[in-house]
């Protein structure tokens, strides 16, 4: 079973009187435990592809299967619960809650969605420990360094024990050395947990941490 299968996916955005074809005939399979790099210029459709893969957007045509489940025709409500249970996202903007600590950024969503309790708190502490953030547990995210914030965002994406983790430019705000540290960490965490993922990047050096690189140009994928 593959972790992700996009079949002949097309995504069209309306734009005034015309439309923008952000993805066309997109075919992508990510095997269990595989980490795929997705590289391409600005505007080529990378974030659109990630959003469709994770059920944040629905395709205009084609099908999306995650962990063997065809989510193409799911209602927005069903997609939201599917995402909550099975998908991890690390957004380019990170979206950490500024006035919350590292620990609270990991626990806020599970707690809001009814998973308040010792197991959630333990998982957050275990993840912070593994990510080298135990000593920063009670620091507000605004007071963390860029690399630390990146690691908090990775921890948060792993809280729900996802089967698929989607990273949108996880190293773009970091210098090369920090970027390589964070990519190394992503690789290690994904391998240790046996997870599948897609990493969007502009930086070809980061593709070395992945099993395979897929190029995207003007909404077209090429292996
Ligand atoms: N909500 C939207 N409405 C209309 N057009 C959109 C929307 N989102 C994206 N687009 C357009 O679709 C195309 C693909 O956008 P996308 O954000 O997927 O590119 P990207 O590869 O992630 O770019 P970047 O590297 O700059 O983040 C672009 O032409 C973009 O302007
Ligand atoms: Mg993007």
pLDDT, tens digit (0-9, with 9 covering 90-100), for 174-184: 888 888 988 99
Task: Spell out the alpha helix ranges (H) of 54-143.
Answer: 76-86, 102-112, 118-130
pLDDT in the model for residue 154: 92
Query: How far apart, in whole angstroms, are the C-alpha atoms of residue 22 and residue 44?
Result: 7
**Substitution candidate for ligand 1 out of 14, 19, 24, 47 with most atoms within 8 A of CB:** 47
pTM (predicted TM-score): 0.93
**Substitution candidate for ligand 1 out of 6, 10, 13 with most atoms within 8 A of CB:** 13
Q: What angle do CA 147, 149, 22 make, to 5 degrees?
A: 95
pLDDT at 94 over 80: no
Residue 140 pLDDT level (bands cut at 50, 70, 90): very high
In terms of C-beta density within 10 A (0-12 exposed, 13-18 middle, 19 or more buried), how is residue 192 classed? exposed
Query: How far apart, in whole angstroms, are the C-alpha atoms of residue 66 and residue 126?
Result: 27
Q: How far is the CA of 11 from the centre of ligand 1 (A)?
A: 10
Q: Assess contact for 160 and 195: CB atoms under 8 A.
A: no
pLDDT at 71 over 80: yes
Average per-residue pLDDT for the chain: 93
pLDDT digit string, tens, across residues 180-214:
988 998 999 999 999 999 999 988 889 999 999 99
Query: How far apart, in whole angstroms, are the C-alpha atoms of residue 177 and residue 182?
Result: 9
Q: How far is the CA of 219 from the centre of ligand 1 (A)?
A: 10
Residues with CB under 6 A from ligand 1: 13, 15, 20, 22, 40, 42-48
Which residue's entry shows tokens 């620990």?
A: 103
Ligand 1 closest atom vs CA 15: 4
pLDDT in the model for residue 91: 86
List the single range of 73-82, 88-97, 179-188, 208-217 with lowest mean pLDDT: 88-97
Query: How far apart, in whole angstroms, are the C-alpha atoms of residue 107 and residue 184?
Result: 24
Please state whether beta strands 164-168 and 196-201 pair in parallel, antiparallel, or not at all (unpaired): parallel
Q: How many residues does the chain have?
A: 223
2-222 to CATH, choices 3.40.50.2300, 3.20.20.70, 3.40.50.620, 3.40.50.300: 3.40.50.300
């Amino acid at each position: 079973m593959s972790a992700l299968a996009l079949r002949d996916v097309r995504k069209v955005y309306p734009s005034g009187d015309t439309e923008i074809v952000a993805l066309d005939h997109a075919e992508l399979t990510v095997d269990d435990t595989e980490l795929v790099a997705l590289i391409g210029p600005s505007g080529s459709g990378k974030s659109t592809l990630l959003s469709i893969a994770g059920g944040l957007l629905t395709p205009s045509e084609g099908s999306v299967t995650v962990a063997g489940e065809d989510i193409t025709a799911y209602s927005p409500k069903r997609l939201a619960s599917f995402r909550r249970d099975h998908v991890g996202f690390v957004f380019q903007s990170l979206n950490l809650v500024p006035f919350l600590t590292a620990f609270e950024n990991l626990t806020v969503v599970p707690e809001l969605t009814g998973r308040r309790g010792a197991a959630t708190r333990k998982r957050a502490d275990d993840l912070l420990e593994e990510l080298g953030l135990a000593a920063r547990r009670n620091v507000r995210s605004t007071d963390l360094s860029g690399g630390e914030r990146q690691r908090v965002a990775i921890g948060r994406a792993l809280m729900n024990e996802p089967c698929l983790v989607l990273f949108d430019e996880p190293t773009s705000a970091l210098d090369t050395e920090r970027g390589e540290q964070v990519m190394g960490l992503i690789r290690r965490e994904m391998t240790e947990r046996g997870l599948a993922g897609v990493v969007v990047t502009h930086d070809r050096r980061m593709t070395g941490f992945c099993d395979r690189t897929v190029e995207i140009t003007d909404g077209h994928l090429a292996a």
